[in-house]
Chain A
Amino acid sequence: MKISVTVNGVVHESDVEPRTLLVHYVREVVGLTGTNIGCDTSSCGACSVHVNGEAVKSCTMLAVQADGQSITTIEGMATDGVLHPMQQAFMENHGLQCGYCTPGMVMAATSLLKENPNPTEEEVRLGLEGNLCRCTGYHNIVKSVLAAAAGQ
């Protein structure tokens, strides 16, 4: 099926099988491998991207459902060689270790702040309930998101 998807501001016209998941489309068709796959069950959030500005698990959406929509992946967050403030906050607060969950965390966290610009620590923790990390114990991830919120 032919689809047209705007990925990080660039329109991509592709022909995909209907069963192609958005995450596979982004990784294998568009070639942006920053979006990671961590599970089969919509549990881990590593594959989170923005669809029309909102965080979505790209493993639980078909590429054909994204036809005509605007997708932002982790590769679209930094601009002109400068990290997005959320990326910068993760760096400054050691909010990542192995980095595998990080793209999904950053996408979920930016979506969270869009909906709730001044969250409490508890709201940040709940807002990231759909993203799993095995390295950081979340302490510094939460700190990073609060720092990014404070810096807005």
Chain B
Amino acid sequence: MIPAAFDYVRAGSAAEAISLIGQHGDEAKFLAGGHSLLPLMKLRLAAPSVLVDIGRVSDLSYIKDAGDHIAIGALTRHMDVETSAVLQEHVPLLAHAAGHVGDPQVRHRGTIGGSIAHADPASDLPATTLALGATYIAQGPNGTREIAAADFYQGFLESALAADEMLTEIRVPKMQGAGWSFQKFNRRAQDWAIVGVAAWRRNGDSGVALVNMGSTPILATSVSGALAQGASVSDAAQLAAEEAEPQSDLNASPEYRVHLAKVLVRRALEAASA
């Protein structure tokens, strides 16, 4: 299968990319690692008329210690997130989760920014960065702006990014020794999660987000709220699906997904509390 025909332009910088996408309008798409977009284009579920390749914008591939947070360039590949010593020390949940995206070949090409901008509720990193309270930096024709992860996901494959905006950086607060767990429940290792849970806990604070439990990644605020008020892990986990609207598919009914979310949130919190 090969994609429908399109025009291809390569950007040398973020500014050039934004300018190119502005010129080509709605029919244009950014191409980063291509591991979200190209599979859709091959199946002709997506057919942009122009691809703006940002894969060569090398100054957007970095992982920097920025004091209270780690700044990750949007074009940093999953493999580099997974193996980053800085992230393993300060945001181990994200490094660990990145190691569960797709398979090694996918992680060699796919980028954290591409994954987040694609806003797939079944992907691992949108939910993980959501649980971590990340901030995303978007650059547009008129400069940059910050978007809280909690405000970013607006619908199935829909984000707060404007058509002419490009995600350039992900800022993830340091976890400061918080306990954490990433629970990915799937049938084959290479697949998307049937249900996934990214969770961390430090004293009364916690962050819990769910993979594939609705049209967007889901922040399980009820769980964190209950924990903050002193609920037990198992009681709090019963609230796992309060914010979720799970779908039915080949692998799971909504009921089963809700059940799994409760079990996996409990297990994640137990692990994070250990």
Contact = CB atoms under 8 A, between A and B. Distances in A.
Chain A directly contacts chain B within the complex, with at least one CB pair under 8 Å: yes
A108 B43 CA distance: 24
A59 B106 CA distance: 11
Contacts of B42: 21, 40-41, 59
Contact size range, B:
20 to 34
A19 B37 CA distance: 13
Contacts of B4: 19
B5 A42 contact: no
B69 interface: no
Contact of B8 (A1, A43, A54, A115): A1
Contact of B3 (A19, A43, A54): A19
B34 A60 contact: yes
A131 to B, nearest CB: 8
A20 B4 CA distance: 10
B249 interface: no
Contacts, number: 87
Main secondary structure of the interface of A (DSSP, over half): mixed
| Complex A-B, nearest 7 residue pairs according to Cβ-Cβ distance, in ascending order | A130-B103, A18-B8, A129-B189, A40-B1, A54-B108, A129-B190, A19-B3
B190 A56 contact: no
A112 interface: yes
B43 A55 contact: no
A60 B114 CA distance: 14
B189 A56 contact: no
Contacts of B102: 42, 130
A48 B105 contact: yes
B3 A130 contact: no
Interface stretch (A61-69, A94-102, A143-151): A61-69
Contacts of B5: 17-19
B104 to A, nearest CB: 6
Given A40-B1, A41-B42, A130-B106, 4 more contacts: A40-B43, A60-B34, A62-B8, A129-B189
A89 B6 CA distance: 43
Interface in B1-36: 1-8, 10, 31, 34-35
A98 to B, nearest CB: 21
A130 B78 CA distance: 15
B105 A18 contact: no
Contact of A111 (B31, B43, B53, B104): B104
Interface in A106-148: 108, 111-112, 115, 126-127, 129-131
Contacts of A56: 105, 108-109
B39 interface: yes
A45 interface: yes
